[in-house]
Chain A
Amino acid sequence: MSLLRLFISLKMGTSPFVLPFAALEVGQHLYWQLGNLRIHGQVFMTSWILIGALLTLVVVGTKKMERDPKGVQNLLEFLWDYIRDLARTQIGEKVYRDWMPFIGTLFLFIFVSNWGGALIPWKLIELPSGELGAPTADINTTVALALLVSLSYFYAGLSNKGLRYFEYYVHPTPIMLPFKIVEDFTKPLSLSFRLFGNILADELVVAVLVFLVPLVLPVPVMFLGLFTSAIQALIFATLAAYYIGEAVEEHH
Chain B
Amino acid sequence: MTSLLLFGASEGGLFDFDATLPLMAVQIVLLTYILNALFFKPVGKVVEEREDYVLTSRTEAKKKLAEVEKLENDLKNQLKGARQAAQKVISEAEDDSEKLYKEALALANSEANASREKVRREIDSQRESALNQLKSDAEKLGDLIVQKLLAAK
Contacts and interface: CB of A to CB of B under 8 A. Distances in A.
A205 B47 CA distance: 41
A109 B28 contact: yes
B18 A39 contact: yes
B29 A62 contact: no
Interface residues of A, number: 53
Interface stretch (B36-44, B95-103, B130-138): B36-44
A29 B29 CA distance: 24
B150 interface: no
A80 B46 CA distance: 11
A89 to B, nearest CB: 17
Q: Is the interface of B mostly helix, strand, loop or mixed?
A: helix
Interface stretch (B9-17, B69-77, B107-115, B119-127): B9-17
Given A29-B16, A39-B23, A144-B21, A76 B5 contact: no
A13 B14 contact: yes
B20 A140 contact: yes
A27 B5 contact: yes
Interface size class of B (residues with CB under 8 A): 35 or more
A159 interface: no
B43 A76 contact: yes
Interface of B: 2, 5-6, 8, 12-25, 27-29, 31-36, 38-40, 42-44, 46-47, 49-50, 53
13 contacts: A13-B13, A27-B6, A27-B14, A28-B12, A39-B19, A40-B18, A76-B39, A105-B36, A143-B17, A144-B24, A144-B25, A145-B25, A148-B25
Ranked 10 nearest A-B pairs via Cβ: A37-B19, A140-B20, A101-B36, A144-B25, A144-B24, A105-B32, A140-B21, A80-B43, A40-B20, A58-B39
